[in-house]
Amino acid sequence: MPAYAVIGGQWGDEGKGKVIDYLAGESDCVVRYAGGNNAGHTVVNERGEFQLHLVPSGICWPGVTGIIGNGVVVNPDVLLGEMAGLQQQGIDTDRLFVSDRAHVIMPYHILLDELQEKARGSGAIGTTGQGIGPAYVDKASRDGIRVGDLLDTSEQLPDRVQAAVEMKNRVITGVYGGEPVDADEILARCHAWAEQLRPLVRPTEQMVQDLLEQDKRVLLEGAQGTLLDVDHGSYPYVTSSSPSIGGAITGLGINPQSIKGVLGVFKAYSTRVGGGPMPTEMHGRAGEDLREKAHEYGTTTGRARRVGWFDAVAARYSHQINGFTGMVLTRLDILDGMDDVKICVGYRVGDREVERFPANTALLEECEPVYEGLPGWKEPTASATRADQLPANALAYVRRIEELVGCEAQIISTGPSREETIAINRVMH
């Protein structure tokens, strides 16, 4: 049985958690492949409301295995805390596993994230402050500590932690004027983490490969969104991993042929948290009204999300990067009751048209959206479960987005709960 990927098509928070929870009922395994606890995935179902940061969003289904793949950076305290919280809410976490190749977010990564952001001043990225960037830097520079290293009983771990802390302290104190961290304290935490994580640690790439060989259905859960991709996003205002389809392959160790479907999750409008260009951002009263109506505040940091109209130029670009086999459109209900709605169909700088989502961030900053207006709808889409319940204008809005992006909507989400979902086509075969 093949794998299906669920990937954020915009700047994150598209509703991936909801979609994964919805699809996981028909799956055997859900695997996170990138990012870390910068992600905040909300799941709402008959068992309650859950905010997941590291644990895959299929966890509410008793028979579904959850895997945190090698491409994820893991803060063990967050993972253990999240598991304990889920258990308190009556959710079984016995079928959760973490890759021995996943890198550990160490306390100095979190400190460096904070210090670097401060040093960037007005050019701050607006990171989630969870140490994500510094952890991926160490992975690339080959100074990282992996989950498997924590369990290693040879004498290598103390030496490696000591060496890493010495280097980091030089940067923390010398470059940023921060307080040094203590190697012994960190090593003691590593030993404690090792004992607690040991039952979960597996060669997960083999697990996923075996599941696929056994004809099991595997869902690949994206975090963040394609426009935050370190390669393809609005660099440098991006995260430090690959949320797009390429990251799913390297972040799990599966072959591309096993991926039969790639679902792009898009909000019916746009949001972004942190700095960086966002051509369709709504400023002033209109933006505030939409933010309040939609309650757009970050799941991980509580920060106000920037809001704007649907950007079809960015969405088409995202589709090109990922090759979506279908689209999931979420939060259509938020647009209920508006007199008219807009879609950005092009960018303009002065009198020059910009046809594609540009790599140059300064140029993207200058891009003015070209809008197409469509009539709104007064009847609600909220909680609809069938396409024929949608008002004609809402359906026309969806159809226009499909046309502009070049990809069909297979699922429309009309509310946060699992059942507030319209399945247009069968996604998994």
Stretch of 129-137, 197-205, 299-307, 342-350 contacting Mg ion, by CB under 5 A: 299-307
- Is position 416 an interface residue for ligand GDP (rule: CB under 6 A)? yes
The answer to whether residue 295 is catalytic is no
Closest CB 147 distance from ligand GDP, rounded Å: 23
Cα distance between residue 285 and residue 133, in whole Å: 34
Cα distance between residue 43 and residue 49, in whole Å: 6
Please confirm whether the linkage preceding 158 is cis (ω < 30° from 0). Answer: no
Q: How far apart are the first and last CA of the chain?
A: 9
Binding-site partner at residue 326 among Mg ion, ligand IMO, ligand GDP, none, CB < 5 to 8 Å by type? none
Q: In terms of C-beta density within 10 A (0-12 exposed, 13-18 middle, 19 or more buried), how is residue 176 classed?
A: middle
Please confirm whether the linkage preceding 236 is cis (ω < 30° from 0). Answer: yes
DSSP string, 9-30: SSSS-SSHHHHHHHHHTT-SEE
- Is position 334 an interface residue for ligand GDP (rule: CB under 6 A)? yes
Phi-psi region of 219 (alpha: psi -120 to 50; beta: other; left: phi over 0): beta
- Is position 128 an interface residue for ligand IMO (rule: CB under 6 A)? yes
Closest CB 269 distance from ligand GDP, rounded Å: 11
For residue 389, what are the contacts with CB-CB under 8 A and spacing of at least 6?
381, 422
Closest CB 210 distance from ligand IMO, rounded Å: 27
- Is position 113 an interface residue for ligand GDP (rule: CB under 6 A)? no
Give the tokens for residue 332. 């259509």
**How many residues form the binding site for ligand GDP (CB under 6 A)?**
21
Tell me which of 9, 19, 22, 40 binds ligand IMO, using CB under 6 A. 40
The answer to whether residue 113 is catalytic is no
From the candidates 28, 41, 100, 319, give the one annotated as an active-site residue. 41
Tell me which of 239, 258, 410, 414 binds ligand IMO, using CB under 6 A. 239
Tell me which of 69, 251, 261, 274 binds ligand IMO, using CB under 6 A. 274
Give 37 or 393: the residue with its C-beta nearer to Mg ion: 37
Binding-site partner at residue 330 among Mg ion, ligand GDP, ligand IMO, none, CB < 5 to 8 Å by type? ligand GDP
- Is position 39 an interface residue for ligand IMO (rule: CB under 6 A)? yes
Contacts with ligand IMO, 308-347, as mask; x by CB under 6 A: ----------------------------------------
Per the document, the length of the chain is 429
From the candidates 13, 28, 138, 333, give the one annotated as an active-site residue. 13
DSSP helix/strand/coil, 325: coil
**Which residues lie across from 411 on neighbouring strands?**
328, 423
CB atoms within 10 A of CB 191: 11
Give the start-end residues of each E strand in 29-163. Answer: 29-32, 41-45, 48-52, 65-68, 73-74, 96-99, 103-104
Give the start-end residues of each E strand in 269-330. Answer: 270-272, 306-308, 310-311, 326-330
Tell me which of 44, 60, 228, 412 binds ligand IMO, using CB under 6 A. 228
Please give the residue ranges that form the binding site for ligand IMO (CB under 6 A): 8, 11-13, 38-41, 125-128, 130, 132-133, 223-225, 228, 239-240, 273-274, 299
Residues that bind ligand GDP (CB under 6 A): 8, 12-18, 40-42, 44, 299, 330-331, 333-334, 413-416
| Residues marked as catalytic | 13, 41
